[in-house]
Structure 1
Amino acid sequence: MWALKYYKCESCGSDFVSCKALKYHFRQKHFGKVHCEKCGQEVLRERLEDHSKSLHDRSTMETHKLNWENLEERNIKSLAAEISKTCRMCARHFGTVLSRENHEIQEHHFTASKRAQMSTGFSPRNMLECKSPQELQRFADKNIRPASGPLSTACVAETGALFKLIQDCFPVPASRVIQGGSYIKGTDTQGCSEIDIVLFSDVFAGVNHCKQQLREGLDALRENLEQTSHGHRILVGKRTPLSLRFNFLCTEGLHSHSFEIMAYYDVLGPAPSTDLKLHLYRKLYLCNDRDVAQLCALALLPYQVDFVKASVVRVKELIRLMIHWFKTSFAKSTEENKFRRLPSSYTVELLTIHIWELAGKPLVFSLVQGMRAVLKLLVRYAEIDVVWHRHYHPKSPIFVKANQKHTRPFILDPVNPTVNVCDTCNAWDEVALVATHSLSKPLLSRVSAEPPWLFTNNW
C-alpha cells in the first residue's frame, strides 16, 4: 500500500492516487475558498465574515478542552463493569452496593449534605431555565441537535474517508468492519459524538492470540494514522490494552468525533444462527477474564446499534436532551470524588427507550413530557427493572441465572443477557438528587402529565 505514488493537495495535504483525482478534489473542495486568518480553515470567500462571527466565539483553548474531556469520558466508560460496588472516593470494591455506601459514610464522611454539595452543578443558561416547550425546542435546535445541511454532508464525507483510512492503516487485513457509537445510532449531540469501530480479522486464531497481538497492532495503527495527511487532526488519548482512542477534528467546523478502535476475530459472523449466539452468551456468562469478555462482546455491537436506531426520530431527540442534561446538570468530579461514575450514554439511551415504550410508543410527543417522565423515574431509580427479550428467550438458562441475582437499578442489555448496564454507575443517589432539583426548575415545575404520560402520576 505504502509503495504507491501519491499526489498531495497543497491546500489541505490530502493524498490522491492520480493527478486527475487531485484536480477533481481541488475543484470540489477548494475552488473559490480562502483561509480564515484565525483558524486556518477554508471557507467560501463570501461566507468568511459569517464564519468568523459564528465559529470564533469560543477560544481555541476551549476547543482543545472539549477534545480532552471527550477522551476522558471514553476512559471512564471503559472501566470495569459492576462499578456500582466501587467507592466514589477510593475505588475500593465491595460485595454489595449497601456495604459500599456504608464504607463511604464511615470512612469518607459522605453524608447527605456532602452529597448535595458535590452532586449538583447546573451550567449557566441551562435548558431547564426555558419557560415553555417552544423555547426548549429552539434551545435544542440551536445548542444540542447536530448541524444539518452542507456542514453535515461535509462531516459525513470526512468520517467516511477516515473509516477507509483506518482499514487501510491497520497492519492486518480486516475481513469485516462494524461501526457503533452515538454518531452511527443517530443520538449524537453538538458537543458529543462517539464512533466505535471494530475490525474483525481472520489473522487472529483465537482470543489468546488476539490479546497477544492486539497491542502491537493498535500501536502500528496509531503510527500509520499519524503519518497520513489526517495525522495533524488526530488527538490520541490514554493507552488502553484493548483499544485505540483518539479525537478527530473535522476541518469544516470546530467540532470533533471521539473514536474508539478495537479488533478481534469474527466470533459470530454476519448472519449467526441462534445456537451460535447462545454459545456466545454461555461463554460470556462463564468468563472470568474481563478483557476476554469485552472482546467477545464486540460481536454484539451491531445488534446494540440496531436496537437504538429502530427508535423513531422523536425518541432520539429526547435521548439527546437527556444526554445533554447529564452533561450540564452535575458538578464536575474533584480529586476527592474522582472515582464517581455517572450512567453511560448507552444506559441513558436504553432508559429513554423504556420510558417511550411505557407511553405506548407514540410517534409524536412533547419533549417536556418525555423529559419529565425520565427524570421522575430517575428519582425512583431503586425501582428500575427493565428487560427486553428480542434476542434471548425468557426461559433461557443464561437469562434465568442472570435475572435471579440482579440488583436494582436493573436494565439488562437487550442483546446481552449477562450485562446490567446500570452497573457502570456508582452514583445513582446523586442522579436521583439532581433529577429532583431539575423537576423544580422553571421548565418542569408547573407541568402536569398529559396523555400518553398519565402513568407518571403514580410516581
Structure 2
Amino acid sequence: MASLYDTSGEQVQQPWCLSPGNLETWYNGNIQHGTEKFASDCRSAILSVVGHIHRNCSSNILDFDVDKVVKGGSLGKGTMVKDLSDVDLVAFVNKPYLKPIAEIGKEEYKRALSKIISEIASTLRGVANIQNIRYDEYLVKFKIQVKSRWIDVDLLPTTENVPYQSSYRNMFLSMLDVGHGTRGFYSAAFVQHQKRFVGERPGYLKALIRLVKFWASKYLPAKLKKSYPLELITIYLWEKAGKPSALSKAQGLRSVLEVLTNLDSLRVYWNYMSGVDDQLNETIIRKLDMKRPIILDPANPTNNVGGLYQEYDNKEVIKAAAEKTLRTTLLSDVSAW
C-alpha cells in the first residue's frame, strides 16, 4: 500500500494520504471490492449453523424448542467489512420453555436460560467448521470457518420479553426498577430491532459506516472497535445534516471524527420503538443518572451505548486518534457537514 507523510512528518498510508476526490475510487477498490463476496460466504456459513440449531434444538430432542434465529451484527445490518466481521445470532426460544422475565422473575429466567445455553453449546460440539466453543450466563461464543478465515459468532438465546398485553413503553419503565445485570438479560431480544434500525438506512450511508469502521480498525485499540456506537454516531450526524443523499465520504468521515474529539458534547436519543417519546427518553436518562457521552440505543433506550467511551481513558485515546486523522491530507482541508 502506497504511503506519504503528513504535516508532522509521520508516514501515512492510503487512503489518508489521498486527496478527497480520490477517496471514492479507493473505497470501491479496497473496501467495496471483496466485501460483498465475503458477506455472501459468511451468510452461507451462518445458514448452516442456523439449520443445525433448528434441526437439533427442538422439543423432539431437547427440553426446549427454537422458534426463529435472527442474524444481527454487521452481517445482519448490512455494514460488514471484509476481514472486519462480527455476527450475532439470536435464537428465540418458544414459550413455555422460556417465559418472559416479567412473568417468572430474574432468578427463574436465569436458571432456565442457563440450561438452554448449556444444551445449545453441547449440540455445537463436533460440528464441522465450528471451534473454540465457550459460554457464559448470557450467550454461547464460538468461531466458524468462512473459506480460509475464522470469524467470531455470539449466539444469544432469548424469548420475546414483552409481557402479554403490555407495551415496549411499559417494559422500558419497568426495566428502570431492576439492576443492570437483570437489564442485561433483556438485551438479546432487542438485536432484531437494532438490525432493523441500521439495516433500513440507505446504501450510501452504510458505505460511510464501513469507512468509519475501517478507520477504527486502523487507528483504535481492540476495546474501542465496537461497531454499534460508531454506527449510531454516523447515523445521528447524517440525520442532523438533513439526510443528504449526495454523500461525500470525506465530509462524512470528517464529521464523525470531529465528534469523536469532543464526545462529551453527545446527548443523543431516538423515538424509534413503539411508545417511546422524548419524555420517556429524558426520564430514563435522569433515573439511570446517565453521564455524557449519551447515545441511547434506539432499540433499547435503557442502554447508553456511549458508556463504552466513559471507561478508563477511552475518551482520550479516541480523541487522539481522531485528531491525528483530521490532520492528514485526506481530511485537513475538508469541511464537516
Question: What range is the shorter-chain TM-score in?
Answer: 0.7 to 0.9
More deviation, 382-391/401-410: 401-410
Deviation at 1:417?
A: 2.2
Is 1:363 aligned to residue 237 of structure 2?
Answer: no
Identity of aligned residues (%): 24
8 A contact 2:261–2:320 mirrored in 1: yes
Residues 222/390 of structure 1: CA separation in 2 closer, same or farther (3 Å cut):
closer
8 A contact 1:185–1:309 mirrored in 2: yes
Residues 146/173 of structure 1: CA separation in 2 closer, same or farther (3 Å cut):
farther
Structure 1 CA distance for aligned equivalents of residues 303 and 113 of structure 2: 24
8 A contact 2:208–2:252 mirrored in 1: yes
Structure 2 CA distance for aligned equivalents of residues 283 and 195 of structure 1: 29
Structure 1 CA distance for aligned equivalents of residues 248 and 121 of structure 2: 45
* Greater share of residues in strand: 2
CA-to-partner distance for each residue in 1:276-317, whole Å, 9 max, x for gaps?
Answer: 212221232111151x21122322222211111121111111
Deviation at 1:262?
A: 1.3
Deviation at 1:366?
A: 0.8
Deviation at 1:268?
A: 2.8
Partner in structure 2 of residue 164 of structure 1: 51
Structure 2 CA distance for aligned equivalents of residues 301 and 123 of structure 1: 40
State the SS of the aligned residue for 2:89.
strand
Structure 1 CA distance for aligned equivalents of residues 237 and 245 of structure 2: 13
8 A contact 1:198–1:262 mirrored in 2: yes
Partner in structure 1 of residue 85 of structure 2: 193
Partner in structure 2 of residue 178 of structure 1: 70
Aligned to 2:15, which of 127, 130, 137? 127
Partner in structure 2 of residue 376 of structure 1: 258
Residues 328/152 of structure 1: CA separation in 2 closer, same or farther (3 Å cut):
closer
8 A contact 2:45–2:146 mirrored in 1: yes
Residues 132/255 of structure 1: CA separation in 2 closer, same or farther (3 Å cut):
farther
State the SS of the aligned residue for 2:183.
helix
TM-score by length of 1: 0.62
Residues 376/312 of structure 1: CA separation in 2 closer, same or farther (3 Å cut):
same
Deviation at 1:431?
A: 0.9
Residues 381/148 of structure 1: CA separation in 2 closer, same or farther (3 Å cut):
closer
8 A contact 2:266–2:293 mirrored in 1: yes
Q: Which runs of 5+ in 2 are unaligned?
A: 1-9
Partner in structure 2 of residue 354 of structure 1: 236
Structure 2 CA distance for aligned equivalents of residues 395 and 151 of structure 1: 43
Counterparts of residues 336-415 of structure 1 (less than 5 Å) = 341-342=223-224, 344-391=226-273, 392-396=276-280, 399-403=282-286, 405-415=289-299
Q: Which runs of 5+ in 1 are unaligned?
A: 1-121, 334-340, 454-459
Equivalent AA in structure 1 for residue 300 of structure 2? N
Deviation at 1:188?
A: 1.0
Structure 1 CA distance for aligned equivalents of residues 279 and 36 of structure 2: 48
Is 1:235 aligned to residue 131 of structure 2?
Answer: yes
8 A contact 1:143–1:190 mirrored in 2: no
Deviation at 1:153?
A: 4.2
Aligned to 1:247, which of 132, 143, 156? 143
Deviation at 1:344?
A: 2.7
Counterparts of residues 20-419 of structure 1 (less than 5 Å) = 125-134=13-22, 136-145=23-32, 147=34, 153-170=40-57, 171=62, 172-201=64-93, 202=95, 203-205=97-99, 206=104, 207-228=106-127, 230=128, 233-236=129-132, 238-251=134-147, 254-268=148-162, 275-290=166-181, 292-330=182-220, 332=221, 341-342=223-224, 344-391=226-273, 392-396=276-280, 399-403=282-286, 405-419=289-303
RMSD: 2.6
8 A contact 2:45–2:145 mirrored in 1: no
The higher radius of gyration belongs to 1
More deviation, 418-427/296-305: 296-305
8 A contact 1:210–1:264 mirrored in 2: no
Deviation at 1:208?
A: 2.8
Structure 1 CA distance for aligned equivalents of residues 36 and 16 of structure 2: 28
8 A contact 1:399–1:417 mirrored in 2: no
Equivalent AA in structure 2 for residue 264 of structure 1? T
State the SS of the aligned residue for 2:116.
helix
State the SS of the aligned residue for 1:419.
strand
Structure 1 CA distance for aligned equivalents of residues 325 and 293 of structure 2: 20
Deviation at 1:149?
A: 6.6
Equivalent AA in structure 2 for residue 307 of structure 1? F
Partner in structure 1 of residue 6 of structure 2: none
8 A contact 1:342–1:428 mirrored in 2: no
8 A contact 1:284–1:297 mirrored in 2: no
Count residues with an aligned counterpart.
310
Equivalent AA in structure 1 for residue 56 of structure 2? C
